[in-house]
Chain A
Amino acid sequence: MRPFLPEERLGSLLALLGHWGEVYGPVTTGDGVTAFRPVSDPGQLRLEYRRTLIPPKRFLLPPRETILTYSPDAGYQPLDTAQPALVLFGLHPCDLQGIAYLDRVFLEGVVDTSYRRNRQALTIIGLSCEPDEFCFCGAAGADLPAGCDLFLQRTPAGFFVTAGTMKGEEICDRSAQLFTLRQPAGTTPWHHPLADAICRGCAAGETFPDNPLWDRFAERCLGCGACSACCPTCYCYDVLEQGGLDGQAAERLREWDNCLFKSHGEVAGGVNFRRSRRERLQYRFLHKYYGFGALRGVISCVGCGRCRAVCPVEIDLAALFEGEDHDRQ
Chain B
Amino acid sequence: MTGSDSSMIPFMAEIVASTPLSADTSLFRLRLDQGIADYLPGQFFQLSVPAGGEFPVSPASAADGGGELEFCVRRVGQVTSHLHSLGPGGRVGLRGPFGNGFPVAEMAGAQILLLAGGLGIAPLRSLLHYILREPERYASVTLMYGAREPAAMLFRDELVALARQERFRLLLTVDFVRDEPVDGRVCTVGLLPALLRGVKVEPAATWAAICGPPPLYACLVAELASLGFADERIFISLERRMKCGVGHCCHCALGQLLCCSDGPVFRYSAIKGITGAI
Interface residues of A (CB under 8 A from B): 68, 70, 72, 75-78, 105-106, 109-110, 112-113, 235-244, 247-250, 252, 257, 259, 264-269, 271, 273-274, 279, 283, 286-287, 290-294, 296
Contacts of A241 in B (CB 8 A): 48, 50-54
Contacts of A259 in B (CB 8 A): 250
Assuming the A-B contacts A72-B91, A75-B10, are A235 and B248 also in contact, with contact meaning beta carbons closer than 8 angstroms in the complex?
Answer: yes
Name 17 interchain pairs, CB-CB below 8 A, sorted by A: A68-B10, A75-B12, A105-B248, A238-B249, A239-B54, A239-B243, A241-B54, A243-B50, A247-B51, A257-B251, A265-B240, A267-B240, A269-B76, A271-B214, A293-B258, A293-B261, A296-B257
Which residue of chain B has the shortest Cβ distance to A263 in the bound complex?
Answer: B241
Whether B253 contacts A283 by the Cβ 8 Å rule is yes
Assuming the A-B contacts A72-B91, A112-B248, A264-B251, are A238 and B243 also in contact, with contact meaning beta carbons closer than 8 angstroms in the complex?
Answer: yes
Give the CA-CA distance A269 to B253 in the complex, in Å. 19
Q: Is B55 an interface position by the 8 A CB rule?
A: yes
Interface residues of B (CB under 8 A from A): 5, 7-12, 33, 48, 50-55, 74, 76-80, 91, 93, 213-214, 239-241, 243-244, 246-251, 253, 255-258, 261-262, 276
**Partner among B93, B249, B253, B276 whose Cβ is within 8 Å of the Cβ of A76:** B93
Contacts of B5 in A (CB 8 A): 78, 113
Instruction: List 15 additional contacts besides A268-B76, A283-B253; criterion CB under 8 Å.
Output: A78-B8, A105-B248, A112-B248, A235-B248, A237-B244, A237-B248, A239-B53, A252-B48, A268-B55, A273-B214, A274-B276, A292-B257, A293-B257, A294-B261, A296-B256
Whether B258 contacts A292 by the Cβ 8 Å rule is yes
Whether B8 contacts A112 by the Cβ 8 Å rule is yes
> Top 10 closest A-B pairs, CB basis?
A243-B51, A268-B77, A293-B258, A250-B51, A110-B246, A293-B247, A241-B53, A75-B12, A76-B10, A236-B250
- A275 shortest CB reach to chain B, Å: 10
Contacts of A268 in B (CB 8 A): 55, 76-80
- A60 shortest CB reach to chain B, Å: 13
Contacts of B246 in A (CB 8 A): 109-110
Contacts of A77 in B (CB 8 A): 9
